Structure 1
Amino acid sequence: MNSSLSSDPRLTPARPDLAAEELKGRVAAPRYASARIATVVHGSVLLRSRADGEAPAASELLFGEVLRVYELRAGWAWGQAAADGYVGYVEASALTFQQYRATHLVTGLFAHLLRAPSIQSPAVALLPMGARVTVIETDSDGLHGRIAERDGWINLRQLKPIGKVGATPHALARRFLGVPYLWGGKTATGIDCSGLVQLVHALVGIDLPRDSDLQLAHLAEGNGQAVAPGVAKAGDLAFFPGHVGIMADETRLLHANATRMEVSIDPLEEVIGWLRRDHPDQPFLGLYRLPRGDH
């Protein structure tokens, strides 16, 4: 995904009729509101550009993510995602105005939230990779954990303590191979290019912006090292106009893309050729390596 950086409404909680209280004196608005802290308690919920179920998805918030809510109206919450600052509307029914201190992350593509600590128990929700949960007790066998956010249990094999995922971003990204492309998506039901990059890095504690242009700007500002294509290695991030992917090895790119409409691995030179059709002057914007040992 990509958008213009000119005014950046993506990251500014301000509308013509309302702005966040913390913007008073910087952004003119007829009224201001303080944030209420909400937590996502559905498996995921789309963050939309308007309070309309048919509006385009800007991103997707996962179970356990925090939204700073500035307005509740007609079943919609308008606010700003705490993790990456993205602004938009979500269905209010997906939120609770409770705060939690998450302890674990879902590390498989999905994990079922069960009514009781048994593999035969009915599932009450499906939580995607990256969902944040607060384990408050374990069953007598130590196989299932009960979570605080909803009344349910998860098999502990499907969770890892936050900070101890034990996998690299590009290894996590490989689990999404074949997942369908979906603009704004961040789960294995559908995911876009920058959503995939953001998600797999967040799992190992590396915070990146939501969109590809913001990710490139973040790394170019000193948070990453520019890399020549000839010395690329697995885990490097490759940027293009409106697109981003993760190098699977020295010459191939792992990316969610609308050409194949799925997450695939393709030769980097072939992807550059795809982009050259619409961007003949500069189809490739460069490679960056994150400074920490996460390759």
Structure 2
Amino acid sequence: MNYDQRLTPARPDLAAEHLRDTVQAQAYVPGRRMQVSASYADLRRSPSDEAATDTQALHGETLLVYEDKNGWSWCQLDRDRYVGYVESHALTDRIAKPNHRVRSRHTLVYSAPDLKSPPLDALPFNAEVHIVSATDNFAETHSGGFIFARHLAPNNRPLSDFVGLAEMFLHTPYLWGGKTDVGIDCSGLVQVTLSAVGVAAPRDTDMMETQLGRLANVGENLRGVRRGDLVFWPGHVGIMQNEHLLIHANAHSMTVASELLSAVRDRVRSNNGSDITAIRRV
């Protein structure tokens, strides 16, 4: 049976129980739900520090673990269904349902409700936390850390203007598979900012191009593009800031950059012979 390996928890030796009737494997397991307790966790293609990172799971995300072996957990993320390996120490089975998310580019978790107290951790944009109490200045997490309250937003109130959120990442280094201001890739930038405004997005550009929004009516001269339109090339995506400027994490500058759409189109044509494949309106 053909299936997308990125999204299917199946190997020749082991598969998810719900795939028993569709995928052949030596054994099947139901999986155990766990939560990311680290700031973020790399999801790798194989259980090795040298393996490529396909994406990252942010603090508070939940996942199903199908195997724990040699310090690695083979799992499937609940948010976008991606499958891979994360280091087991980044996970916990003591799940606390998140009720807030980080709205700033990064925030610190302090040991006390005092800006002079030693920080315990740092959380990236869109990481999720369970807050048990709050004052005007600090919110206390279920694990006893304290976050500056204005760096958080309630989960039941999505943020607005995903383009403005993407602009917050300008000059962030490009990182294949990244989803934080330490490093981010093109589809990671789109996914994490859309998620913050309540729009679920798949992880990779090919899935985004078929599943997000609708085709925009834009001519060859690129007239008619609007702020928030997603522009696709083979293996790449960017976000329109206005009718002329595109913000995108790219391997040309190795940063999140703002450029004229026409300049990016011409450069990609010249370097790769590729052209824009779609412009979609979310």
Give the TM interval when normalised to the shorter protein: over 0.9
Residue ranges of structure 2 left out of the alignment (5+ in a row): none
Partners in 2 of 1:33 and 1:97 — Cα distance? Answer: 17
1:122-146 deviation digits (Å, cap 9, x = unpaired): 10110000000110112xx432111
The partner residue of 2:182 within 178, 189, 197 is: 189
- Answer with 93-102 or 42-51: which moved more: 93-102
Q: Is 1:212–2:212 an aligned residue pair?
A: no
Ranges of 4+ aligned residues in structure 1 off by more than 3 Å: none
Corresponding residue number in structure 2 for 1:14: 10
What amino acid is aligned across from residue 285 of structure 1 in structure 2? Answer: T
Contact 1:227 1:286 in 2 (8 A): no
Partners in 2 of 1:278 and 1:28 — Cα distance? Answer: 43
Partners in 1 of 2:185 and 2:52 — Cα distance? Answer: 13
Corresponding residue number in structure 2 for 1:142: 136
Question: Residue 230 of structure 1: SS of its match in structure 2?
Answer: coil
Partners in 1 of 2:267 and 2:121 — Cα distance? Answer: 39
Partners in 1 of 2:196 and 2:35 — Cα distance? Answer: 18
Q: Is 1:230–2:223 an aligned residue pair?
A: yes
Contact 2:32 2:65 in 1 (8 A): yes
Corresponding residue number in structure 2 for 1:293: none
Partners in 2 of 1:238 and 1:177 — Cα distance? Answer: 18
Question: Residue 86 of structure 2: SS of its match in structure 1?
Answer: strand
How does 1:193-204 map onto structure 2 within 5 Å? 193-204=186-197
What amino acid is aligned across from residue 173 of structure 1 in structure 2? Answer: A
Corresponding residue number in structure 2 for 1:115: 111
Question: Residue 227 of structure 1: SS of its match in structure 2?
Answer: coil
Partners in 1 of 2:22 and 2:124 — Cα distance? Answer: 38
Normalised by the length of structure 2, the TM-score is 0.95
Contact 2:158 2:198 in 1 (8 A): no
**Gap change, CA 1:165 and 1:55, over 3 Å in 2:** same
Q: Is 1:287–2:279 an aligned residue pair?
A: yes
Contact 1:105 1:131 in 2 (8 A): yes
What do you get for the CA RMSD once the two structures are aligned? 1.3
1:4-58 deviation digits (Å, cap 9, x = unpaired): xx74200010011110001001000000111111110111110000000110000
Shift of 1:279: 4.3
Corresponding residue number in structure 2 for 1:254: 247
Contact 1:165 1:204 in 2 (8 A): yes
How does 1:41-120 map onto structure 2 within 5 Å? 41-120=37-116
Corresponding residue number in structure 1 for 2:23: 27
Partners in 2 of 1:278 and 1:98 — Cα distance? Answer: 49
**Aligned-residue identity in percent:** 40
Partners in 2 of 1:163 and 1:68 — Cα distance? Answer: 24
1:200-234 deviation digits (Å, cap 9, x = unpaired): 00001100000011100113xxx424331311111
Shift of 1:165: 4.2
Shift of 1:166: 3.7
Normalised by the length of structure 1, the TM-score is 0.91
Contact 1:235 1:247 in 2 (8 A): yes
Partners in 2 of 1:125 and 1:158 — Cα distance? Answer: 14
Higher relative contact order (CA 8 A, sep 6+): 1
Partners in 1 of 2:268 and 2:206 — Cα distance? Answer: 15
Alignment: residue pair count: 278
